[in-house]
Structure 1
Amino acid sequence: MSRDWVRLGHAIEAARDAKGMTQVALAEAADVSESTIQNLEAGKERVRQPPSVKKVEAALGWAPGSADAVLSGGEPTPLSVGSNSDAPQAGDQTGLPLRIIQELSDGPLLDTTVLPLSGDSRMVIVVRGTPDASPEQIRRDLLAWAKAQSVLQELDHGGDPSDSTN
């Protein structure tokens, strides 16, 4: 069966319009260029599916593989609360911007922390590694996070990190 790129372009445009997003807003949410969105919506024929399609799927709140389904004549599957992904889902009640949802879905989860702020406010930090990172890269990422975490803890205790000597 041939892949229907025009059908995918129409589906992306319809989903974007339904969310009240411009091409620029979708490009920002998916962390791709505006021309990428324009080319996808134009239904430009391709031999292979570009990696940007996965990012656009997530930014639109589609489940992984939805673009393949549309290319084959099916419909996209919306992400739903309680799906297999460990990241917050578009459409849930987190109120997170799509770009944050996209960032939370890429790469292995390395660590999380919640820091109390004033009153009942808090800061949530999620540390994600790079997809396909080597064990050495993950080790470097964790060391960098440990250093950043110590600066945050110093701030939490009322200190000024610029006063510390390293």
Structure 2
Amino acid sequence: MDEDLKRLGEAVAAARKAKGWSLRQFALHAELAESTVARVDSGRAGASPTAYEHMEQALGWQPGTIAAILNGSVSVVDGSSTPPGTDLGA
């Protein structure tokens, strides 16, 4: 498994669970197919930039958070709206 996708999956799953959402509920909030969010949530596969935008919006993350997680500049997300160590507005 790709380490970047695994890190993203862990972050997305933690944020989803912090909101108390099932995969189905997350998919509904993100307006995406459940299979898409399941692949990302499990760390098995990535998604399109548009899908990532929908996920960020649903989770209350700042735009670019998923890119930051994938490139390793953010390694832990606790479910808050602004992941620790993220300075995306600079």
* Aligned residue-pair number: 77
**How far apart, CA to CA, are the structure 2 residues paired with 1:52 and 1:3?**
20
**How far apart, CA to CA, are the structure 2 residues paired with 1:21 and 1:65?**
22
Written as runs of structure 1 = structure 2, the 5 A alignment for 1:43-122 is 43-46=43-46, 49-50=47-48, 51-73=50-72, 74-75=74-75, 78=81
Q: Is the 8 A contact 2:13 2:42 kept in 1?
A: no
Offset of residue 72 of structure 1: 1.4
**How far apart, CA to CA, are the structure 2 residues paired with 1:45 and 1:65?**
18
Which has a greater percent of strand? 1
**How far apart, CA to CA, are the structure 2 residues paired with 1:52 and 1:33?**
10
Change (3 A) 1:65 1:3: farther
Q: Is there any run of 5+ residues in structure 1 with no aligned partner, and where? A: 85-166
What TM-score do the two structures reach when normalised by structure 2? 0.74
When the two chains are superposed, the root-mean-square deviation of aligned CA atoms in Å is 2.2
**How far apart, CA to CA, are the structure 1 residues paired with 2:64 and 2:42?**
20
What TM-score do the two structures reach when normalised by structure 1? 0.42
Deviation string 1:94-130 (CA, Å, 9 cap, x unpaired) is xxxxxxxxxxxxxxxxxxxxxxxxxxxxxxxxxxxxx
**How far apart, CA to CA, are the structure 2 residues paired with 1:68 and 1:17?**
21
Counterpart in 2 of 1:17? 17
Q: Is the 8 A contact 1:3 1:72 kept in 2?
A: no
The percentage of aligned residue pairs carrying the same residue is: 35
Higher relative contact order (CA 8 A, sep 6+): 2
Q: Is there any run of 5+ residues in structure 2 with no aligned partner, and where? A: 83-88
**How far apart, CA to CA, are the structure 2 residues paired with 1:45 and 1:28?**
19
Offset of residue 13 of structure 1: 0.3
Max radius of gyration: which structure?
1
Amino acid at match of 1:20: G
